[in-house]
A and B are shown apart, each in its own frame.
Chain A
Amino acid sequence: MVTYLFVGLFTLLIGYFIYFNAVLSPDVINNPYNSRQDTFADRIVRGNILASDGTVLARTDINSDGTETRSYPFDNMFAHVVGYSTRGKTGIESLANFNLLTSNAFIGERIVNEIKEEKNLGDNVTTTLDVDLQRTAYDALSGQKGAVVVLEVKTGKILAMVSRPDFNPNRINEDWEALNSETDSDSVLYNRASQGQYAPGSTFKIITLLEYIRENSNYEDFDFDCKGSLTEGNYTINCYGKTVHGQEDLKKSFAKSCNGAFASIGLSLDTTKFNETCQQLLFNTELPFSIPYSKSSFTLNESTVPAERMMTGIGQGETLVSPLHMAMIVSSIANEGLLMEPYLLEHVESYTGENIKTFTPSVYGNLMTEEEASILTEYMEEVVESGTGRKLNDLGFLVAGKTGTAEYSSDKSKSHAWFAGFSNTGEEDIAVCVLVEEVGSGSEYAVPIARKVFAAWDAKR
């Protein structure tokens, strides 16, 4: 019996070992911590990175003297999301490093090459990125600092991810010193789309609204008389440009982005429940995303002073969020509350075009109920219909969204401009998040960029 017990243990062990090697190992070793991958580069010519339509975003050129150069035909346009591979690895170059350095060419060819001491050709990786949308967003942000993220709502595919200011990955080695010098205050190498942390401004009112609806089933009875500012104790909140919105219901105060109304809502909310809602929306937690990002933070608690609670209600205060995260939140609203995990890799194929692995969309889970999502959609459509997002109401299709103007310093003239929204046509809709640093209001600076992206998407339909 002892023998059988131990033989059983050994069999299980061997079984697990086989399972590990056959099934688990590709995912395990495709990890930035696995520096073994670099030794592959001695044997494999790094494969290409392609856009979803097959356009080459990164390729390896073999020079006449046999050395290799990694080249990026679009120069700066995909700099952050595609990344670079010669000064450490970032973006997709890091994410797909293992695939790019693995050759699934015909085995006979590989063995012959190994014996001849010639390099095998690595696999090519097709991404979810759309060249037209990326170009549109990139050009629209020209001359400014900021980020644009475009997601496909039903799948979580990342169609565009732009961060500016940018750099030329073809010149990463020459420019390395300058890019990393202490005098460079722009943090050019930083991917603002996923790593940037900004006060969400009025885009956060989406979440305040959600929490208000959750706590008050009679939310439609809400009414507020806006006098252009709201004072609680010795703290005063002003509406943008000190506009007096007058008598308004919940929808109007959302559409007009009335700070007074939402500050008063912020004061009324249960901090514990508000925290739970934000937790559910992935604040203070890891995002289901595989290239470097910053966690968003939300810090309200029972002991928070009223002034801070008012500010939190309108997206000021301590709350910080990345453009990617904001795009994920609105995409879940567009997708009936269901969040799809955002992803960048579409499939891997050998250099001869044989499909090796296809990445399928994966469901993260519900961030809210279907009903809540449809109410938020209705309110966000009103923003475009009659509110701060009016510049989007003549595109010829339904758009829902929310603008934001986030103050981040005492200099009120310099605010971060936000827009987060989605097309609502029912077919292959996209979620768009735009952030422009230090320019002014969302409706003035962010909405026009979103408009260009929506138009470019519409033109391709």
Chain B
Amino acid sequence: MTNLIIELSKYAFIILIALYTFLSFSVLKKRDQEEIDHGWRMQNFLTFLIHLLAYAVIYLKTGQLKFLVFYLLQFVLLQAVLVLTRVIYPMINQLVLNNMCFLLAVGFIILTRLNYDKAVRQFQMAAISLIFAMVIPVLVRKCLFLQNIPWIYGGAGLVILAAVAVFGDTTSGAKLSLNIGPVALQPSEFIKISFVFFVAARLAKSTVFKEVVLTTILAALHVIVLVLSKDLGGALLFFVTYLVMLYVATRKKIYFLAGMGAGCLAAYVAYFLFSHVRVRVLAWSNPFSVIDNEGYQITQSLFAIGTGRWFGMGLCQGSPNKIPVVDQDFAFSAIAEELGGIFAICLILICMSCFIMFVNIAMQIKNNFYKYTALGLGTMYGFQVFLTIGGAVKFIPSTGVTLPLISYGGSSLVSTIAMFAIIQGMYLLKEDEELKIEKERRAKKAKLAKARSKKIKTEKEKPE
């Protein structure tokens, strides 16, 4: 019986996520509000079904009660987030909210399967940050002053990054984290947000050449510091985000192309200058020739994905823990191994739907500062997903970034949840803007009507 459930669950997961993915795209096309609401509720239902089924399998496999308790806690947390957010912010973007909960749920599942203790810590971090995230949309409305003081937090961000580069602890070759008491912080995860705010504020203020140069210099310093602290993924993320924001703000293709050119040149130079860059490239181009050393991680990842093939080995049936640091850089491979390639493809599509939604929101905002911020955060998110999954499947060299909301890592989790909340705040602003426009239009209409009726009235009065 147990075996039957586990075997069938494999296929059930795929059907459920396929439905969920389909809804992510199809609901957006619907016009009827009732149908739309039904679609979003359906998504939540599917999320909880996957979540329930996964923990049922884990419980059946292990027979340990703690997993059921853990399941209930997660269920309550996710339900609370969904319900409370909708009560407090009725106008919230449902797709972004649903996707966030879905990705969190998948993250909990795969982390529980990989390492229970880490999953518990991840859950605690998620709970705390989700509670704080509740107030972020309100704060976003009040943070317009941020656009006046970009140098302060832009500079501060750079100083913190530099501090990490000098004093930070080295994990797997890169200096990423600062140990403050018992907590290991990864400041670059938070600097991502302040960086985007900085660039948005600067570009919203002015796009004349001189100002752009100044902004570019500070942005480039961020990237250089990250390269020096060997955080290649981070450097690439900041770089691409800056380029995209610059292009959208200036609409000058020449900036984009020049940036790409400079990026390629820098990559070329870095390849010859830094041995860790060469190691990553070698491990990518021919991992099997260095399978004992540099290529070990990526080949293990490929073994995992390849062994899982389309339908996966089944939850708790593979051996994803053979991949070094699987819970961070290679969470995607663990998912592909156990839940299958089709599930993994759906996951990519869901991340993509998040990204498309972010960009859509950004493009509809009138205020440039908010627009660029939303776009920047969206790009950060989208490109990070691309980097981590591309690295795991050996499409591009591995850069050691996490899969947002799924991989283990407190700093990454907190900053991603904050990013989602900020974008939600922007979305609400956009709704406000629309309401305002609508109101103004109505007011104008009313005024006109009033004036007209007055006119009529006066005209009527005239003959008397």
Q: Are A17 and B393 in contact (CB under 8 A)?
A: yes
A20 proximity list for chain B (CB < 8 A): 302, 305-306, 393-394
Q: Which of A12, A21, A36, A115 contacts B303 (CB 8 A)?
A: A36
**Is A18 an interface residue, CB under 8 A from the partner?**
yes
> A21 — nearest CB in chain B belongs to which residue?
B341
Instruction: Give Cα A295 to B303, complex, Å.
Output: 27
Q: In the assembly, what is the distance between CA of A39 and CA of B303, in Å?
A: 13
Task: Tell me whether A29 and B306 are in contact (CB under 8 A).
Answer: yes
Residue of A with least CB distance to B256: A1
Q: Which residues of A contact B299 (CB under 8 A)?
A: 31, 33
A17, A25, A37: the one contacting B344 at CB < 8 Å is A17
CB distance from A19 to the nearest CB of B (A): 10
Q: Number of contacting residues on A, CB 8 A?
A: 31
Q: Which residues of A contact B375 (CB under 8 A)?
A: 2
Per-residue contact bits, chain A 112-123, to B (CB 8 Å; 1 contact, 0 not): 001101000000
B386 within 8 A of A: yes
Given the complex of chains A and B, what is the CA–CA distance between A13 and B383 in angstroms?
Answer: 12
A29 to B248, CA, bound (A): 43
CB distance from A62 to the nearest CB of B (A): 20
**Bound-complex Cα distance A282 to B87 (A):** 74
- Decide yes or no: A13 and B390 within 8 Å by CB, A2-B359, A3-B359, A117-B3 being known contacts: yes
| A14 interfacial contact with B, CB 8 Å | yes
In angstroms, Cα B309 to Cα A3, docked, is: 30
- The CA of A117 and the CA of B4, in the complex, are separated in Å by 8
B310 at the interface (CB under 8 A from A): yes
> B residues within 8 A CB of A7?
352, 356
Chain A nearest CB, measured from B206 CB (Å)? 21
The CA-CA distance from A114 to B351 in the complex, in Å, is: 33
Whether the pair B318, A36 counts as a contact (CB closer than 8 A) is yes
* With A13-B395, A17-B393 as contacts: A6 and B305 at CB distance below 8 Å: no
Contact A29 B348 (CB under 8 A): no
A21 vs B311: C-alpha distance when bound (angstroms): 11
Chain B: minimal CB distance from A287 (Å): 15
Nearest A residue (CB) for B362: A2
Query: Which A residue sits closest to B302, measured CB to CB?
Result: A28
Tell whether A375 is near chain B: CB-to-CB under 8 Å. Answer: no
Q: Which residues of B contact A2 (CB under 8 A)?
A: 244, 247-248, 359, 375, 379
**Residue A364 at the B interface, CB < 8 A?**
no
B286 at the interface (CB under 8 A from A): no
Counting CB contacts under 8 A, is A9 at the interface?
yes
Please indicate the chain B residues that have their CB under 8 angstroms from the CB of A13 in the complex.
Answer: 348, 386, 389-390, 393, 395
With A2-B247, A16-B393, A36-B319 already in contact, the answer to whether A10 and B386 are too (CB < 8 A) is yes
Q: A26 on the interface (CB 8 Å rule)?
A: yes
The CB with the most chain B CB atoms within 10 A, among A6, A9, A25, A39, is that of: A6
Residues A80-118 near B (CB distance < 8 A): 111, 114-115, 117
Query: Which of chain B's residues has its CB closest to A29's CB?
Result: B306
Task: Please name the residue on chain A nearest to B360 by beta carbon.
Answer: A3
User: In the complex, A392→B8 CA distance in Å?
Assistant: 66
A304 at the interface (CB under 8 A from B): no
Q: Would you call B189 an interface residue if the criterion is a C-beta within 8 Å of the partner chain's C-beta atoms?
A: no
Q: Please pick, from A1, A10, A36, the residue contacting B322 in the complex, using a CB distance under 8 A.
A: A36
Contacts of B318 in A (CB 8 A): 36, 39
Q: A-facing mask of B1-33, CB < 8 A → 1, else 0?
A: 001100110000000000000000000000000
Is B67 located at the chain interface by the 8 A CB criterion?
A: no
Q: Which residues of B contact A3 (CB under 8 A)?
A: 356, 359-360
Q: Would A17 and B345 be within 8 Å (CB), given that A24-B306, A25-B306, A33-B291 are in contact?
A: yes
The interface residues of chain A lying within 8 Å CB-to-CB of B70 are none
Residues in A neighbouring B248, C-beta threshold 8 A: 2
Docked-complex contact B341 and A29, CB < 8 angstroms: no
Task: Report which residue of A7, A21, A29, A111 has the largest number of chain B beta carbons within 10 angstroms of its beta carbon.
Answer: A21
Q: Does B288 belong to the interface (CB within 8 Å)?
A: yes
For residue B310, which residue of chain A has the nearest CB? A21
A35 interface residue per 8 A CB criterion: yes
Q: In residues 277-329 of chain B, which contact A (Cβ within 8 Å)? A: 288, 291, 299, 302-307, 309-310, 313, 318-319, 322
B352 touching A12, Cβ below 8 Å: no
Whether, in the assembled complex, B102 has its beta carbon less than 8 Å from a beta carbon of chain A, the answer is: no
The reply on B197 being an interface residue by CB < 8 A is: no
Looking at the assembled complex, report how far the CB atom of A109 sits from the nearest CB atom of chain B, in whole angstroms: 14
Residues from chain B with a CB closer than 8 A to the CB of A36 are 303-304, 307, 318-319, 322
**Cβ A10 vs Cβ B303 within 8 A:** no
Compute how far the CA of A261 lies from the CA of B306 in the bound complex, rounded to whole angstroms. Answer: 57
Q: Is B382 part of the binding interface, using a Cβ–Cβ cutoff of 8 Å?
A: yes
- Distance in angstroms between the alpha carbons of A6 and B244 in the assembled complex: 11
- Expressed in whole angstroms, the Cα–Cα distance for A7 and B299 within the complex equals 27
* In contact, A31 and B305 (Cβ under 8 angstroms): no
Q: Closest Cβ of chain B: how far from A162's Cβ, in Å?
A: 30
* Interchain CB contact (< 8 A) of B4 among A17, A21, A115: A115
Chain B residue numbers with a CB within 8 Å of A234 are none
| 15 A-B pairs (CB sep. < 8 Å) | A6-B355, A7-B356, A10-B351, A18-B345, A20-B394, A21-B305, A25-B306, A29-B303, A29-B306, A33-B299, A35-B319, A36-B304, A36-B319, A36-B322, A39-B319
Known contacts A10-B386, A34-B307; can you find 10 more A-B pairs with CB under 8 A? Answer: A6-B382, A6-B383, A20-B393, A25-B302, A26-B306, A28-B306, A33-B303, A35-B322, A36-B307, A37-B307
**Residues of chain A whose beta carbon lies under 8 Å from any beta carbon of chain B:** 1-3, 6-7, 9-10, 12-14, 16-18, 20-21, 24-26, 28-29, 31, 33-37, 39, 111, 114-115, 117
